[in-house]
Amino acid sequence: MVELSGKSDPFQHSFPNAVFYIPALIVVSAVAFFGYKLYKSLTEKDRKREEKLKAKQAKKKK
């Protein structure tokens, strides 16, 4: 728990740790998801370029 007040305060204020863990988990998940999508997009672009080059070379050999 995160304590926001001292021991001498008449009202004790505190937050459970989940208040901080849940948003952090959401942010980390979003970054991982978009990083994965970017990686897949870049590798797909490279793969298509290589396939196009191979098709062009195969056509040249015929």
pLDDT above 70 covers a percentage of the chain that reads: 79
* 15 touches 2 (CB < 8 A): yes
Domain boundaries defined on the chain = 2-61
The pLDDT, as a whole number, for residue 14 is 75
Place of tokens 């728990």: 1
Q: How far apart are CA 7 and CA 4, in angstroms?
A: 10
What is the reported pTM? Answer: 0.63
The pLDDT, as a whole number, for residue 15 is 75
What does pLDDT average to in each consecutive run of 10 residues of the chain (62 residues)? 67 78 97 98 95 92 76
